[in-house]
Structure 1
Amino acid sequence: MATIRDVAKLAGVSTATVSRVLNEQGGVNSETKQKVLDAIKKLNYKPNTIAKNFRQNKTDTIIVVIPDITNTFFSKILLGMQDVANANGYNVLLCNTNNDVEKELEYIRFTERRGADGIIFLTARVNYTNILELTKTCPVVVACEYIDNLDIPTVSINNFKAAYEASEYLIKLGHKKIAYINGPEGIVLSRDRLRGYKAALERYGIEIDEKLIFEGDFYYESGYKHAKQILENEATAVFTASDDMAAGFIRYCIDNNIKVPEEVSVVGFDNIKLASIIKPELTTIAQPMYEIGTTAMDMLIKLIKGEEVEKRNIVLEHQLIVRESCMPYEKNCVKSKGY
């Protein structure tokens, strides 16, 4: 196997000159450069990429920290990230936290020890000081969420506005007893969606009933779990902070012979594929998942290359997708017993 010394000998130059040509550093005239390139081609020389990257503190690797790799919401986001990363010559290393803050912290320490060209968080639940320290080591972007009072590039939607619009849609259908299943407390998007739900009710003069507000975890099981109490409290509609929880709620209704939307209307959040498969098809807030992924990765690669990022906090557009799971309120449309 040819070495850099072999190339230098054949081209009649020093190994330093070959290195400058390989790294496109300039300072080599066109004639000498062509001799080096001809020698590389003739010897079929393959540079030692690992050694080169080590010397340049470059790994060609980007870490993506994901809270739950089994959650289908993240699949299109990851696809968008992968497409942009690969097009720019980077590999993507996925690190799954299973919603464990300690795991997230562990990946931060791993990045600081072993190095990566950059890191994207699809969750940000650790103490902000840990993220801040990491920014001294490599570029960081947060997607789907943001971190209060911290100047870190982010890509997300306006969760407050999206939740407001979902709640307003139900209100305009005539519903006044609207239940809400939120995500876990302590997550910024859960806070923003709850604020949006409450703001819509207040805007239309509807009293906020805390008995109709529940903490979920974004998963199917929590939608199913809270359905009984929601229906016992005679809600005529329910808005959930994820499509999975909406599906769980609908499943409970099916198991108990409660008709959706004739007896209770349902709105979800995310627009994962499940939303268009279940019956009735789910009305939901659509997040631009693929675009979140491509935008976040494009931003990170610009930061890695030292390029200026014009807008550090990008808010993408969401959309209310109206399908089959809602209908106008009719008096006494929900059973009062038997749940």
Structure 2
Amino acid sequence: MVTIQEVAKEAQVSVGSVSRYLNGHKLKEQNMQKIKQAIETLDYKENLFAKGLKSNQTLSIGILMNNMQSVFSSTLIAQIEEEMESHNYSILLNSYRNKIDKVAAKIDFLLDRKVDGLIIFEGEPEWPVYERLQTIEIPVISVNTTLDYPHVDSIIVNNRQSAKNMISKIIDSGHDHMGVISVPQKSSVARDRLNGTFDAFSEKGLDDSDYQIFYGDYSQKSGYQGAKTLIDQGLTTIFVTNYNMALGSLQYMFEKGLKLGEDISFACFDYPGVSDIFYPRLTTVRQPVHKMGTVTVNRMFERIKNPTIKNEIIQLENEIHWGNSIKEWK
């Protein structure tokens, strides 16, 4: 491995000059060019880990999430990692896979690695383990769930309002009988999305006889069964609050030969670009996944640079994309 001393010798400058250059200090233009050229010639790679230890930082951020395999998770992780790299930081990723009793050990694992910050996806505030976040000295950011602790920031989206807006527009398009495929109401995200649909039903004057709710389990299989159950009951307008279940619902509709926007009206929550592959274009609530990643990383480095700033709840907006999968009644 090439050393800083070898770079200095190649550039014919002092080791101190090379060190200052690597730390972003301004030098004489001639010396900066010589050092840059030496680094390229020797293919010098800075030891960021050793550099971090000297400054009492490991240049890494811990991330704890439930499911790494979902489209949401993989897209968000990719965005966060890309943003981290621009700061010369890396991520240390861990998951608990619906095993809530493992969360405390997972947090300890990340803290034992001396990460400089912690990002937690969809942790629920009623979990007792999260009370300890009040005493953690590094910056903590909660993504997709509000954790209202003094030293924790929360990055959330307006799931309830966007679900209400979507359902309201569907009703205004002439659909006053509807089936909703939802997930178990065990998380704040799930509750917000379903409560948003109830808000719209209430505001538009619909009662219990005007809609049916099918509760799935996040899987495509349950979405398939949900669509079958609701369509067998004669419902021709379906809204799905989870993307995986939406895929299962669409599978059933395609197998039955139902034409979207004609025989059946359909809308769902989506991720950037995914619904664009369908024809006709789906009507979706699209989550700002890439923006969530960028905002999360930016906020993390604000907290790293200034640990005393007040915590914030930052709410981002979902987008409603109105496609041709909802039949417009004249």
Q: Taking structure 1 as the reference length, what is the TM-score of the superposition?
A: 0.78
**Shift in Å at residue 260 of structure 1?**
2.3
**Shift in Å at residue 184 of structure 1?**
2.8
Verify: 1:234 aligned to 2:234, yes or no: yes
**Shift in Å at residue 47 of structure 1?**
8.0
Match of 1:85 in 2: 84
Match of 1:269 in 2: 269
**Shift in Å at residue 51 of structure 1?**
4.8
Verify: 1:113 aligned to 2:112, yes or no: yes
Distance (Å, rounded) in 1 between the aligned partners of 2:85 and 2:46? 20
2:67–2:95 CA contact under 8 A, matched in 1: yes
Residues 91-130 of structure 1: matches in 2 within 5 Å? Answer: 91-125=90-124, 127-130=126-129
**Mean CA deviation greater in 247-256 or 95-104:** 95-104
Distance (Å, rounded) in 2 between the aligned partners of 1:46 and 1:269? 44
Distance 1:219 1:166, change over 3 A: farther
**Shift in Å at residue 127 of structure 1?**
4.8
Distance 1:263 1:150, change over 3 A: farther
Verify: 1:325 aligned to 2:325, yes or no: yes
Distance 1:270 1:258, change over 3 A: closer
Q: Deviations over 1:213-267 (max 9, x none)?
A: 1223333222112112111222231111123322211211222233323222111
Verify: 1:157 aligned to 2:157, yes or no: yes
**Shift in Å at residue 23 of structure 1?**
11
Distance (Å, rounded) in 2 between the aligned partners of 1:49 and 1:272? 34
**Shift in Å at residue 132 of structure 1?**
3.4
Distance 1:199 1:46, change over 3 A: closer
**Shift in Å at residue 305 of structure 1?**
1.9
Distance (Å, rounded) in 1 between the aligned partners of 2:77 and 2:193? 23
Distance (Å, rounded) in 2 between the aligned partners of 1:112 and 1:210? 50
**Mean CA deviation greater in 199-208 or 224-233:** 224-233
Distance (Å, rounded) in 2 between the aligned partners of 1:166 and 1:46? 51
Distance (Å, rounded) in 2 between the aligned partners of 1:105 and 1:139? 17
Distance (Å, rounded) in 2 between the aligned partners of 1:202 and 1:23? 61
Distance (Å, rounded) in 1 between the aligned partners of 2:115 and 2:269? 33
Query: Which letter maps to 2:68?
Result: I
Residues 172-321 of structure 1: matches in 2 within 5 Å? Answer: 172-209=172-209, 212-306=212-306, 312-321=312-321
Match of 1:131 in 2: 130
Distance (Å, rounded) in 2 between the aligned partners of 1:3 and 1:76? 37
Local SS of the residue matching 2:81: helix
Match of 1:27 in 2: none
**Shift in Å at residue 86 of structure 1?**
1.1
Distance (Å, rounded) in 2 between the aligned partners of 1:209 and 1:69? 39
Distance 1:2 1:65, change over 3 A: closer
**Shift in Å at residue 308 of structure 1?**
6.0
Distance 1:224 1:272, change over 3 A: farther
**Shift in Å at residue 139 of structure 1?**
1.2
Q: Deviations over 1:44-87 (max 9, x none)?
A: 99986545534543110112223222211233322331222111
Local SS of the residue matching 1:106: helix
Local SS of the residue matching 2:97: coil
1:243–1:275 CA contact under 8 A, matched in 2: no
Unpaired stretches in structure 2, ≥5 consecutive residues = 9-15
1:128–1:150 CA contact under 8 A, matched in 2: no
**Mean CA deviation greater in 91-100 or 191-200:** 91-100
Distance 1:46 1:171, change over 3 A: closer
Runs of 4+ residues over 6 Å off in structure 1: 1-4, 20-24, 44-48
Equivalences, count: 311
1:144–1:292 CA contact under 8 A, matched in 2: no
Unpaired stretches in structure 1, ≥5 consecutive residues = 8-16, 25-29, 331-339
Match of 2:66 in 1: 67
Distance 1:205 1:2, change over 3 A: closer
2:92–2:110 CA contact under 8 A, matched in 1: no
**Shift in Å at residue 130 of structure 1?**
2.2
Local SS of the residue matching 1:175: coil
Query: Which letter maps to 1:258?
Result: L
Local SS of the residue matching 2:185: coil
Local SS of the residue matching 1:119: strand
Local SS of the residue matching 2:208: coil
Local SS of the residue matching 1:212: strand
Match of 1:11 in 2: none
1:176–1:236 CA contact under 8 A, matched in 2: no
